[in-house]
Amino acid sequence: MQSRVLSRLLVVALLLALAGGIYLLLNYNRNTSLPPGIASGNGRLEATEVDVATKVPGRLASVRAREGDNVSAGQVVAELDAEDLRAQLRAAEAQVRQARAAVQEGRAGVAGADSQQKLARATLDRTGQLVKKGFVTGDRLDRDRSALLAADAGMNAARSHVNEADAAVAAAVARVDALRVALTDATIKAPLGGRVLYRLAEPGEVVAAGGKILTLLDMTDVYMSIYLPTAEAGKVGVGGTARIALDALPGQPIPAKVVFVAPRSQFTPKEVETRNEREKLMFRVKVRVDADWLAAHADLAKPGMPGVAYVLTDPAAAWPPALTTK
């Protein structure tokens, strides 16, 4: 008697499982059927990732953003300990003042050499007149010529010193400018507005030049990549309208646009599941979410959400009511 009851229960359970399977199959076929001119593929929302890194090495004094925070373009997200740079800047500014003082000194030397040169030339002229009149000998004339040559050499040396001092000023000013730029780079700002995906460094850590501190998601560039077989991918045009239906947002199709179609086929990634039997070679199609929709629904579309992207393979095809956006 007990065995009969168990057998009946087993038969009932099998019938229920079969009925459930048939229902799910019918429901699946009803939901996945698409009108002609529309192709679809499964994927996940993605956003462009941007690494925020430091241009100069140093010790992190603070990191002002945490994972999940939204930051705006130009916002300070981290700072390096810049006391050493400030000390170097003060020393470089002192070198600039010293070099400029050397320029003034050199110019004064040029003025003195110019006076000596003029005096030597005038003396030589007078000596030449006296020699002609027989008042002095030729030895005096030779000495005055030698004095003029020495004055000319002194002038050249003085001008060379001024040129060297000017070059020293330029080098010192360039050093100051470089340190000011490095000091500015010690304050790390977000290159664009976005959401912090990873915080890769903590205060107190020493980071090298190019060391990553944060990874941002550009929430103005959200997209989904799907893979279509040759027959469908060949009919998809860049710039065509598309729709994205997320599992987490049923009944809310997202307007999108086709921005890329792979020029060659490739192996389908293992994590992508196609509704039809998997084909070994597929074409990647990138569908970008409409920027206006993103601006109005910034908290709805989150990278990583699975869903389905729909693209038109026939420009004359019309979207069914379930994929019509408001």
- pLDDT level of residue 118 (50, 70, 90 thresholds): confident
Element at 3 (helix H, strand E): helix 2-32
- Rounded to an integer, the average pLDDT of 203-207 is 93
Q: Quick one: angle between helices 138-185 and 83-133, nearest 10?
A: 170
Helix (H), strand (E) at residue 284: strand 281-289
- Of the candidate CATH numbers 2.60.40.10, 3.50.50.60, 3.20.20.140, 2.40.30.170, the domain formed by 36-47+220-323 belongs to 2.40.30.170
Decide: 133 and 56 in contact? Cβ < 8 Å: no
Residue 278 has pLDDT above 90, yes or no: no
Average pLDDT along the chain: 81
More confident residue, 31 or 174: 174
Q: What does the pLDDT read at residue 16? A: 56
Phi, psi of 91, rounded to the nearest 5 degrees = -65, -40
CATH topology of domain 52-82+187-213: OB fold (Dihydrolipoamide Acetyltransferase, E2P) (2.40.50)
The predicted pLDDT at position 79 comes to 94
Please, which pLDDT band fits residue 4 given cuts at 50, 70 and 90? low
Region label for 58, one of left (φ > 0), alpha (ψ between -120 and 50) or beta (otherwise) = left
pLDDT of residue 27: 41
Residue 58 has pLDDT above 50, yes or no: yes
pLDDT at 17: 56
Portion of the chain with pLDDT greater than 70, in percent: 79
- Which has more confidence, 118 or 306? 306
Q: Cβ(253)–Cβ(325) under 8 Å?
A: yes
Arithmetic mean of pLDDT, 225-246: 89
Element (H, E) at 214: strand 212-228
The answer to whether 117 touches 154, Cβ cutoff 8 Å, is yes
Q: Picking from 214-218, 220-224, 234-238, which range would have the lowest pLDDT averaged per residue?
A: 234-238
Check whether 31 has a pLDDT greater than 50. no
CB 179 within 8 A of CB 56: no
Give the span between the Cα atoms of 218 and 187, in whole angstroms.
21
- Cβ(288)–Cβ(222) under 8 Å? yes
Report pLDDT digits (tens) over 293-323: 988 887 787 888 999 999 998 888 888 888 8
- Residue 29's pLDDT is what? 38
% of the chain exceeding 90 in pLDDT: 33
Give residue 189's pLDDT. Answer: 94
pLDDT at 281 over 50: yes
Which pLDDT score is estimated for 206?
Answer: 93
Listed by start position, the domains of the chain span: 36-47+220-323, 52-82+187-213, 83-185
Confidence at residue 268, expressed as pLDDT on a 0 to 100 scale: 57
- Cross-strand partners of 42: 308
CA 202/CA 188 separation, integer angstroms: 14
pTM of the model: 0.63
